[in-house]
Chains A and B, each alone.
Chain A
Amino acid sequence: MERNNSPFMSGVPELLLLRLLADDELYGYEIVRKIREATGDAISLGEGVVYPVLHSLEAAGALRSRRRVVSGRERVYYSATKSGRTRLANLAAHWTRINDGIRLALAEVIHA
């Protein structure tokens, strides 16, 4: 499992976080675990990297956070706002276009 924080991955953490938090209210550790599960270990972030992305998205109004005490530990739970869901839809459309383009390019290589 390789850690991937290359510039090409720019925007991917944001997309994945918004996707996960659109359905669920999660805290940092859970988020990273779910990203690993959801991407079949193909994408693994340096785990601490998730927090600046979460804070940025919250500052932009795409996420909201609240503190909850669970099993005696206080955690910060995040969930997507309405504006976050809109942002997710735009990002998803963007990445789908890129994905389609790459698939086309690879198909030519494979059939060559």
Chain B
Amino acid sequence: MREPDFHLLRERLLRGGVAPKHVRRTIAELRDHHTDLFAEAFSRGCSVEDAEREASIRLGDEDSLAAEVLARPELRSWAHRWPWIAYCVTPTILLGVAFVALLLLVGFSHAVRTDQGTFSARWGSPAAVWSVSGAVRLFYSFGLPVLLTGACCFVAGQRRVALKWPLIGVIIASIVGAAFQFNVVWPHGPEAAGAISMRISVPPFPGSGGTLLRAAATCALSLGPYLWWRKRLART
């Protein structure tokens, strides 16, 4: 039995804003239903070709199936209803949340170490301490914005959203992510003081060149693969 091709229906539903989970489920159920219809027709004595044709007719054509799903706003995703919140605001808010979480994590882990007085045994040389500080700084200034903007593009791609939303969202989150610079100086011993600092560097203030460069790199790393994928999808 040849299965019907639901690719176009899937694309229409996703572009119409239907939540991906509903699209996946609808397609899976339609496929199963088609198999049952085929089996029913075949068991009545139809040839394979006739059974396939009858099953497809009874299931309904792509237009009527798409119209019926798209007529139900309750099956649309919230990201389709409020794209500016999903793609423009959420990544930036998540950056802020991650900042607070990271701050708490750093503070908490330092407090635990200081209380236990086991700093030297745990962390050993200052070089190791420096690498932890560097990793935290690198993660917040570069890794996290790339991760969040990448996730934004992934979700937008999954939902076939208009390009402008992830584009705006990625640019905003990249600039905010690059402008906030988070730095942790871990204490070099149980008695030494550490420091957590944060600075915002935006044009035209000093250091803004680095901000723009980081923002551009974040944009390129997340938007590059996304734009390539969109172009590929448009061709199929």
Residue of A nearest to B22 (CB): A55
| B64 interfacial by beta-carbon distance below 8 Å | yes
CA of A51 to CA of B28, assembled, Å: 10
Contact for B72 among A27, A47, A56, A75, CB less than 8 A: A56
Give chain B nearest CB distance to A37 CB in angstroms.
14
- Complex interface residues of chain B between 48 and 103 (CB less than 8 A to chain A): 58-60, 64-65, 68-69, 71-72, 74-75
Interface of B is mostly: helix
Cross-chain contact B74 with A59 (CB below 8 angstroms): yes
Q: Which range holds the interface residue count of chain A?
A: 10 to 19
Residues from chain A with a CB closer than 8 A to the CB of B30 are 48, 51
Report whether over half of chain A's contact residues are helix, strand or loop; otherwise say mixed.
Answer: helix
Indicate if the CB atoms of A52 and B32 lie closer than 8 Å.
Answer: no
Q: Which residue of A lies closest to B59 (CB)?
A: A48
- Contact A47 B29, beta carbon cutoff 8 Å: no
When distances are taken between beta carbons in the complex, the residues of chain B under 8 Å from A28 are: 29, 32-33
CB distance from A14 to the nearest CB of B (A): 11
Q: Do B75 and A59 touch across chains, with their CB atoms under 8 A apart?
A: yes
Contacts of A27 in B (CB 8 A): 32
What does the 1/0 interface line of A1-43 toward B look like (CB < 8 Å)? 0000100000000000000000000011100100000000000
A51 to B6, CA, bound (A): 15
The reply to whether B68 and A52 contact each other, CB–CB distance below 8 Å, is: yes
Q: Smallest CB-CB separation from B21: which chain A residue?
A: A55
User: Is B184 part of the contact surface with A, judged by Cβ < 8 Å?
Assistant: no
Measured CB to CB, the nearest residue on chain B to A5 is B64
In the complex, A60 has a CB within 8 A of chain B: yes
Q: Does B144 contact A (CB under 8 A)?
A: no
Q: How far is the CA of A28 from the CA of B75 in the complex (A)?
A: 18
Question: B60 to A49, Cβ gap below 8 A?
Answer: yes
The answer to whether residues A75 and B32 also contact, given A46-B60, A56-B72, A60-B74 and a CB cut-off of 8 A, is: yes
The residue that A76 contacts in the complex, of B29, B37, B59, B68, with Cβ under 8 A, is B29
**Known contacts A29-B37, A56-B75, A59-B74; A47/B60 CB under 8 A:** yes
22 residue pairs bridging A and B, Cβ less than 8 Å apart: A27-B32, A28-B33, A29-B32, A29-B33, A29-B36, A32-B33, A46-B65, A46-B68, A47-B59, A48-B30, A48-B59, A49-B60, A51-B33, A52-B26, A52-B68, A52-B71, A52-B72, A55-B22, A55-B25, A55-B72, A55-B75, A75-B32
Q: Could you tell me which B residues sit within 8 Å of A by CB distance?
A: 22, 25-26, 29-30, 32-33, 36-37, 58-60, 64-65, 68-69, 71-72, 74-75
Residue positions of A touching B, CB distance < 8 A: 5, 27-29, 32, 46-49, 51-53, 55-56, 59-60, 73, 75-76
